[in-house]
Every structure is written in C-alpha cells, then in structure tokens.
Amino acid sequence: MTSLNRSYKIQTLANDLKIKSIDKPVESILAFCEQRVRRFLKEFSGCSRPSDLLDILAAKLQTRFEVFRSDYELLAIKEKYVQAGEKRFATLEQEFPADVFGITFRRLSRKPWEPEYVSVIDCRSDKRYRSNYTKWHELGHLLILTDQLRISFSRTFCTQDLKDPEESLVDVIAGHFAFWPPLFAALTTGPISFDRIEQIRLAHCPEASKQSAVLGIVKAWQAPCVLLEARLALKKDEKLMEAQTAFGFRHRPQAALRVSNVTVNDAGADAGLRVHRNWRVPEQSIISRVFHQNGDGAAVEDLSWWETSSGTRLPEMQVDVQARRTPDTVQALITPGKP
C-alpha cells in the first residue's frame, strides 16, 4: 500500500475526487468510497449479504452486468447491443483475449430509462472462478470514476509487480467491498481457521472464489491475523545473478521458500503482527514442513524465527501458525499465541 500511496497517478486521482487530505491517498480514496456506499445504503434496508450489496451498487452506479459463459453467449450480447445502436460492440468478440476478464462500456445510444453503463463479464472456462471478483472490480472503477467522458475500462489480470497503479487501487476497493466488514461482523469472531473461512464462504457468499474468500475474510476478521503465501523463489539480487548465468557467469542460485504475498488485517497491524514479502520462511517453521511434506499442519512458533540474511529479525512474539499446501504454494494463518 505504501508504494501505491506514493504513485503520482493515485495522488492525482485523489485530487480529482476533491479529497483534501492526500497524505495517504489510498486510505483517503477508500474512505471516500465508504462514504458513498453508506449513503447509497440509506435507501435500502435488509442488505445483509455481499450479493445484495453488489446488486445495490450496480443499480446506484448505473451499470448492468452481462455475463457470458460461451462464445455463443458472447455473440448474443454483441448482437443485442449492436441492434440497440451501440457501434462499439461490433468487435466485442475481439476484446476478450486471455488476460481480459471484464469490460465496462459507457452506453452511447441508450434509452433514457436504461443504465448508463454495461459491464460485460467473461465467465468462460477458468475465468468463471474470477467472475464474481471481476464484477466487484468493475464497480470499483465506477466508484472512483472522475472522467465522465471515459468510454470504457477493462479488467486485465497481471501479477502484482507489473500492475498499473489505478488497477491496483481498484483491486483494493473491490476486495474491500466484496467482503465489506459490516456484512461479516457477526461471523468473523473467535478463532480463525481455513475451515471456518470456508464455512463462512459457503453460507454467506458462495459466489466468491475460495481464493478471494480467504483474503477477504482474513481482512474482515475482528481478531489479529496475518495471511501469508509462500512459494519457491529467488531474492532480487539472485534473479540478477541467474540472468548472468545465462551468459556463463557464476553458479546458478538456488530458489528458497519465500513469502510471495502477505495480508495483515487491521487488528493484526494494531497488535504489531507482521511478516515481510520476499523474506525466507524459517526452516523450522511448520510452513516450511507443510510445503515440503504436503498436507496441513499447525504449530506454536515465535515471530523472532523470521530473519533476513543480514540478520534483521522480527521482534519476539509467540504465535499460532496454521499452514496448508496448495498446488504451487503454501498458505498460512498467523495469529497471536496465548500469553
């Protein structure tokens, strides 16, 4: 979030939204969206699930979702809108290469009673697992839309390091409202576990993917928690070294199990819980054992086991660690241990 806060594009956007305090533009923009959403909700009682909130926001932000599950359905959407005079839809089938998941178009030839936008969501084959999140992403764009003349925007998928700052910001907004804490308040108490997260997903938001639910529910959890994901990776300077080995220099560096993603929820940040991205997972940690031996595991550990090669360590803190293997990674939940 820190690097996103320093982005010129994000600071400009905060300015355009007339946000006065732009010290931390991401937090300020999120607070701006929160105010808008709460204002919308004053007109509706009984919004208790994320799917209700999605429908309300789509209506208030003036979009209609058009979801296609096959090429045939894509052509049917194209036909429908071309018939309605939307020339932009004439090449719709070419606008969804493998890395585009959704596109929101401004309607240029709509009837006065029709919504101003249409958000076309690709739900073919594996893209269906992300389709709910793609809808939230499109709503995220509309929540911070400042350029009223912008004709379309799309959701493409790329890795964290390569993402455009505005796309990253929209993902922060989408993730926040897809698992909006007030809708989870009664569920996210007591001890957290991967099983509890999955029970909540099935009961409360089965449309969400398992992956996004783990992330969103950890963020909404009321007690301190860190979610981390680790995979085999090289350090930055080792990546450089590896590039050099291609030209015959030095020895090829060995990949180690490193943190690839970290999410610390608000309560966790307040409690001083932290783990850093790219740090090597301690060999004695259950996270490392689960990665190498598969299956699940849990252990009581100490955060001070985490250290860099230059000797920087995390402060001592007893923690409970639960880990589980996924095909390429290991995921772990870290919570403060009993004092």
Contacting residues toward Zn ion, per CB under 5 A: 155, 167
User: Which C-beta is closer to Zn ion: that of 162 or that of 186?
Assistant: 162
**Token code pair at residue 23:** 């010290």
Q: Give residue number: closest CB to Zn ion.
A: 155
Counting every residue, how long is the chain?
339
Q: Kindly provide the b/e burial profile for residues 19-30, where b requires at least 16 CB atoms within 10 angstroms of the residue's own CB.
A: eeebeebbebbb
User: Which C-beta is closer to Zn ion: that of 121 or that of 200?
Assistant: 121
Q: What are the strands, taking DSSP E only, across the chain?
A: 63-68, 100-106, 117-122, 152-156, 226-233, 256-264, 296-302, 318-325, 330-336
Count Cβ atoms below 10 Å from residue 140 Cβ, excluding itself. Answer: 26
Report, in Å, the least distance between residue 176 CB and Zn ion.
15
User: Which C-beta is closer to Zn ion: that of 155 or that of 201?
Assistant: 155
In angstroms, the Cα distances linking 192 to 87, 189, 220, 310 are 50, 8, 11, 33
User: Which C-beta is closer to Zn ion: that of 103 or that of 226?
Assistant: 103
User: Which C-beta is closer to Zn ion: that of 54 or that of 273?
Assistant: 54
Report, in Å, the least distance between residue 154 CB and Zn ion.
6
- 95 Cβ neighbours under 8 A, 6+ residues apart: 103, 154
Report, in Å, the least distance between residue 254 CB and Zn ion.
37
Count Cβ atoms below 10 Å from residue 191 Cβ, excluding itself. Answer: 12
User: Which C-beta is closer to Zn ion: that of 106 or that of 155?
Assistant: 155
Q: What is the C-alpha separation between 167 and 158, in angstroms, rounded? A: 10
User: Which C-beta is closer to Zn ion: that of 143 or that of 225?
Assistant: 143
Minimal CA–CA distance to 58: which of 136, 155, 167?
A: 136
Minimal CA–CA distance to 176: which of 319, 44, 25, 26?
A: 26
Report, in Å, the least distance between residue 117 CB and Zn ion.
13
Report, in Å, the least distance between residue 153 CB and Zn ion.
5
163 and 117 Cβ atoms separated by less than 8 Å: no
Report, in Å, the least distance between residue 106 CB and Zn ion.
14
User: Which C-beta is closer to Zn ion: that of 133 or that of 221?
Assistant: 133
Report, in Å, the least distance between residue 134 CB and Zn ion.
9
Report, in Å, the least distance between residue 150 CB and Zn ion.
12
Task: Tokens 């995921």: give the residue.
Answer: 331
Judge residue 91's burial from the number of C-beta atoms within 10 Å of its C-beta, 0-12 exposed, 13-18 middle, 19 or more buried: exposed
User: Which C-beta is closer to Zn ion: that of 97 or that of 311?
Assistant: 97
Q: What is the C-alpha separation between 12 and 196, in angstroms, rounded? A: 40
DSSP state of 247: T
* Cα-based angle 97, 329, 319 (whole degrees, multiple of 5): 135
- 72 Cβ neighbours under 8 A, 6+ residues apart: none
Report, in Å, the least distance between residue 171 CB and Zn ion.
8
